[in-house]
Each structure stands twice: as structure tokens, then as C-alpha cells.
Copies of this chain bind each other. A is one copy, B any other.
Amino acid sequence: MFNQIDYRGKIIKVIHKAEEIQKRSEQIRCQGKSIVLVPTMGFFHEGHLSLMRKGRELGDDLVISIFVNPAQFGPHEDFESYPRDLERDLQLAREIGVDAVFTPDNMELYPEGFQTYIELEKLPNHLCGLSRPVFFKGIATVVAKLFNIVKPHVAIFGEKDYQQLTVIRRMVQDLNFNINIIGGPTVREPDGLAMSSRNNYLTLKQRPTALTLYKALVKAKDLLKNGVKDAGEIIQVATKLITAHPETGIDYISICDPECLDTIKTIDKPALMALAVNVGKTRLIDNMILYP
């Protein structure tokens, strides 16, 4: 495997060892330069690339990590089959002008005897956390590790994974990470489907069905615009809309407080509408802030 690629005179460094990138980051920080980190699980789509472009603007040194984190997958989830294409990812990253890519193997991040995990007591007891019990524990732990390894000033996460962003913001505050967390807006296909690496699992037949998540959110926005403030009513309409399509299994549709994620009954301040729906065997999520 190459460990640096030259692109238009710009070198992208590919680093596998935590210690190596730690040293590099120390040096960069001491030069008074700012480091931006975009953590990813790879298999880039336009959503990832938009976060990197934002990162390119926000700091001097742009680092991305590519690591499919086993700790955030449950035993029956898609860790093994999660799509991977490192060569293509590196190509895309260097086109954007990423300075360094951290791609550790599992043993580098979870060596024998590993036993330390970060858990939040409240935020994971909502939305995705209810059906994915180890998910946010795995996320918080690996992100803290990446923060300690890359030592960024700024880290960027997609708003599509809204609950993840909320968990990370809270962890950063609670554990006194001195890092500015930035959210990047969800990037959508032309018809509105939120971009996701898991969209690759969808069959051609399932593809229109996948769009119902977005349609349900838009419908909710319309209803609110027309004066419907009752969350229960909006969720009912969304449920009907989604279950009218074949192969759909709703995990949750929730209207909640955008910070603490507690359920909201009446939308009289900005609320998060979030949903998770299985389309065939593929679990998709989407969300939108509803402004009354």
C-alpha cells in the first residue's frame, strides 16, 4: 500500500499508526496551524465530500479518518458487509485536497485487552439508541479515540446522523475536549433521498420506497405550515404514508426536542422530526428540523 500520493503537487499522507499521526498533529499545532478532522467509515458519497470541502475551508490541515468501527455495530448488524473501497476513497479525498488520511486496522484501535468505553446516560435512550443498544457507546468511544489521536481544533459530522452529532457535542462538553464541533447539512439525491452508504444495499425496486422517508418529512413540514401542530397527528400521517409502500418496517418516527431528544407533543418551538425505516433489510434514517 502506498503511503503518500502526489496530486497536483499536493501530497496526501496515508497513515495507519495512531502514534505517527499524533506526532504529526503535535508538530502542526506547534506551528500555530489549525487541524480539522472529518471522521468517516469510508465508501464516500457526496455527503462525505461536502463535509471535507467544508473542512478544507475551516482549517490549515485537513485530516480524515476512514475506519469501519466494529464497536458501534451490534452482533446481527452489517459490520462485515458494510461497503468498503479505500482506493476510490483516497482518490476522491485527494481531489478535495485532504492533507492526511488516518486508516488504522482494528487491532490498532482495539488491541488485546481493550476494555474502556464512553457512555452517555440519557441521549442514547432515544431514537436509534433504542434499537441499537451498543451504537452510541461505540460511536462515543471511537470518536474520543480519534480526537486524542488526531488532536484536531475542529471536527465535522453530518447532520444526517443527527443523534450522533448530539451525542458527540455532549461528550465534547462533558469530557472537556477543546474541539469545535461543526455539523454539515444532509446531502440529498436529486429526488430528495438522503445520501447514505447503505443506499447501495437497495434494489432498483426498493429505491422508490426508500424515498418515503424524505416524503414523510416534507409532508410533516407542509402539515405544520398549514397549522397542524399536534406531533401525534403528524406522526400518524407519516406512518400511513410510509406503510403504504411495500417492504417497509418502521423502527421509529419521532418528533422531539433538538437538544435533549425528549418527545414533543405540540410543535410550538423548533422540533426535530427523525425517523428510521427498514426498506427490505436495509435500515435507513433521515431527519429534518420543523420550524413552527
Asked whether A236 is an interface residue with its Cβ less than 8 Å from the other chain, the reply is: no
Q: Which range contains the number of A residues in contact with the other chain?
A: 20 to 34
Residue of B140, B170, B177 near A148 (CB, 8 A) is B177
Asked whether A114 is an interface residue with its Cβ less than 8 Å from the other chain, the reply is: yes
Contact residues of A with B, CB < 8 Å?
A: 18, 22, 26, 29-30, 32, 111, 113-123, 140-141, 144-145, 148-149, 151, 170-171, 173-178, 260
Give the residues in chain B near A116, CB-CB below 8 Å. 118-121, 140, 170-171, 174-175
Give the residues in chain B near A118, CB-CB below 8 Å. 116-119, 175
> Nearest-CB distance from A204 to chain B (Å)?
43
Give the number of times this chain occurs in the complex, counting copies: 2
> Nearest-CB distance from A265 to chain B (Å)?
22
Whether the Cβ atoms of A175 and B145 lie closer than 8 Å is: yes
What are 5 A-B residue pairs whose CB atoms fall within 8 Å in the complex? Answer: A26-B178, A115-B122, A117-B118, A117-B120, A145-B176
A109 to B91, CA, bound (A): 43
> Nearest-CB distance from A261 to chain B (Å)?
12
